A and B are shown apart, each in its own frame.
Chain A
């Protein structure tokens, strides 16, 4: 089939067609993504001031060794790791829960399915603004509700407290992105074979077992793919965190991208900013490689079964 198709492409007489089709986007991405990326790569080996970006003396590995010796990087890495893992767990967990709910029949289901996507449609800047107000220590509805419920936590200054700022940012992030996982998992749930479910019911399986034997194997590749995307997006999320806490207090929400921006635009050190970017990019690449290995392994395992 593939060979026949290949032959047809030759018969078509235009071996250049695929390249012509791909060229505009290729040139575009080369110019606006990969050329800047290479510049950043070079920049990471220089000492460059934001105010004189064209003057960039080469300093070798100095930026990297500074980052490694300076304790701050490890804190940034651990904040990033906690934030990313928590985003994956909660956004996909809540997404899965809501998708299962929306998959079962009830009156008004299509309306519910539409309404649940509201957070996803809201612009990040507006989300940051409203959640900053919701988390306001004195007048925010969040603390008022907590106090009303008689909880000790009421009255806390969520975004100014080093141990509460990250949970607050996480709640905001999960609110904004869980609809995406929900919608994608819901679509995957439509592919669960009905016979498999029915067979499990006949075997006397309870809900959990039905989920394990029929539902999970079908949606597992989708959940894996979501894990990859939520991870990568969390590694690069900027607007929400920057506008709500600027990475503070005392670095409690200082993820890699925030630190990158701070180094570049607050401390004017473009070299160090670029090297943080390169480290972040390597992590994202590593995650991607692991994802493809895991998908390959599960596909092989399923093939053997």
Chain B
């Protein structure tokens, strides 16, 4: 009996350690942002935030174009989400419901994109976007990101459509509905939770993306938060707590949003992947 209680204690300890490991770096970013410059390099580190420093969060909006960066990241993320979902639903349905020549090719092509590093495609995309007049534009970034997001969410949505019984669609077909009606009227409402998951995944991808935002856009006022934040790496003139404050402003909305959405994401992602 005693050993099982000890085991219970060990389990609690293990869970706490794990959560500490997961949360500490984000906590530390926050604490650093709330540490006065004078204490940053003190012999013993400050482990709790100095709440008197909260004004730093108002200050950086005056000294650093954070608002513009966040706005651009939001536009890229929102655009990527909308375009990706629009593009992914129909091929996901086709992959799930039709047997056609080229099915395997489409499936493999979607998977193969997971192997392509963004850094490799930057140069050719740069010249294509140059021809299309999309360099230095938010829509350009949306198009580039969508190319990497669509394959992932197509598979996830396909997994969800797989789990819808055929009979539901059959009944609608008997009633004379076309395939388009079926997808729009029956399938989309039924896979709505997975679409929400796919939307969250797309949004995150766009919000976090760095390589394209760094290379396909050059003008200052189109900088995304990832590029803005990266510009502080190795740069010494901006105080470290300001840099961390920008990091917090960029990271925290993503985490909070994610904590609210994670139930959908987990359910949506695993609906397809568990069955393999």
Selected interface stretch from B16-24, B53-61, B188-196: B16-24
**Docked-complex contact B258 and A141, CB < 8 angstroms:** no
How far apart are the CA atoms of A154 and B19 in the complex, in Å? 24
Chain A's nearest CB lies how many Å from the CB of B226? 4
Q: List 25 A-B contacts (CB under 8 A).
A: A17-B94, A18-B100, A26-B106, A29-B151, A36-B124, A39-B127, A40-B123, A115-B22, A118-B259, A123-B225, A123-B226, A123-B254, A125-B226, A129-B233, A130-B244, A133-B28, A139-B40, A183-B269, A184-B269, A222-B274, A236-B115, A238-B119, A257-B117, A264-B123, A285-B115
Q: Decide: B128 and A9 in contact? CB cutoff 8 A.
A: no
B79 → A minimal CB distance (Å): 14
Q: Is the CB of A126 within 8 A of B229?
A: yes
Q: A118-B26, A238-B119 are in contact. List 12 more A-B contacts (CB 8 A).
A: A9-B99, A18-B94, A26-B91, A35-B124, A40-B124, A121-B258, A126-B247, A130-B32, A187-B269, A188-B274, A232-B115, A285-B115
Mask, A225-248, CB within 8 Å of B = 1, is 100010011011011000100000
Q: Which residues of A contact B (CB under 8 A)?
A: 2, 5-6, 8-9, 12, 14, 17-19, 21-22, 24-26, 28-29, 31-37, 39-40, 43, 50, 53-54, 97-98, 101-102, 104, 106, 112, 114-134, 138-139, 141, 144, 175, 179, 183-184, 187-188, 191, 221-222, 225, 229, 232-233, 235-236, 238-239, 243, 257, 260-261, 264, 270, 273-274, 277, 280-281, 284-285, 288
Chain B interface residues toward A at CB < 8 A: 11-12, 14-15, 18-19, 21-23, 25-26, 28-29, 32, 40-41, 44-45, 87-88, 90-91, 93-95, 98-100, 102-103, 106, 109-128, 143-144, 146-147, 150-151, 154, 166, 173, 179, 204, 207-208, 210-211, 225-227, 229-230, 232-233, 240, 243-244, 247, 250-251, 254-255, 257-259, 262, 266, 269-270, 273-274, 276
- Among residues of A, the one whose C-beta sits closest to the C-beta of B43 is A144
Q: Are A32 and B147 in contact (CB under 8 A)?
A: yes
Contacts A101-B14, A121-B254, A235-B115; A2 near B99 (Cβ below 8 A): yes
A129 to B166, CA, bound (A): 49
Residues of chain A contacted by B166 (CB below 8 angstroms): 5
How far is it, in angstroms, between the C-alpha of A236 and the C-alpha of B115 when the chains are bound?
A: 7
Q: Is A39 touching B255 in the complex (CB atoms < 8 A)?
A: no
Residues of B within 8 A of A222 (CB): 273-274, 276
Q: Among the listed A31, A50, A123, A239, which residue makes an inter-chain contact with B128, where contact means beta carbons less than 8 Å apart?
A: A31
User: With the chains together, A92 CA to B192 CA distance in Å?
Assistant: 30
By a CB distance below 8 angstroms, the chain B residues around A183 are 266, 269-270
Nearest residue in A to B210 (C-beta to C-beta)? A239
The residue that B11 contacts in the complex, of A106, A133, A138, A288, with Cβ under 8 A, is A106
Contact B100–A122 (Cβ < 8 Å): no
**What distance in Å separates the Cβ of B218 from its nearest Cβ neighbour in chain A?**
14
The interface residues of chain A lying within 8 Å CB-to-CB of B251 are 122-123, 126
Residues B25 and A37 in contact, CB atoms below 8 Å apart: no
Closest chain A residue, CB of each to CB of B154 = A25
B26 A122 Cβ-Cβ under 8 A: yes
A29 near B117 with CB under 8 A, answer no
**A67 CB to nearest chain B CB (Å):** 15
Residues A280 and B18 in contact in the complex (CB < 8 Å), given A35-B124, A118-B23, A131-B25: no
Known A-B contacts A18-B98, A232-B115; the reply to A187 vs B243 at CB < 8 A is no
Q: What residues of B have a CB within 8 angstroms of the CB of A112 in the complex? A: 15, 18-19
Please give, as numbers and ranges, the residues of chain B lying within 8 Å of A138 by CB-CB distance. Answer: 41
A19-B151 contact, Cβ under 8 Å, with A114-B259, A129-B243, A141-B45: no
Known: A25-B91, A133-B240, A187-B274. A123 touches B250 (CB 8 A): yes
Partner of B273 from the list A17, A184, A280, A285 (CB cut-off 8 Å) is A184
Select one of A40, A141, A187, A281 contacting B266, CB under 8 A.
A187
B270 touches A139 (CB 8 A): no
| A12 CA to B174 CA, complexed, in Å | 10
Q: Give B273 Cβ to nearest chain A Cβ, in Å.
A: 6
A12 to B132, CA, bound (A): 39
In the complex the two chains form, what is the Cα distance from A18 to B99 in whole Å?
8
Q: How far is the CA of A282 from the CA of B143 in the complex (A)?
A: 26
Partner of A22 from B102, B127, B266 at Cβ < 8 Å: B102
Flag if B45 contacts A236 (CB, 8 Å). Answer: no
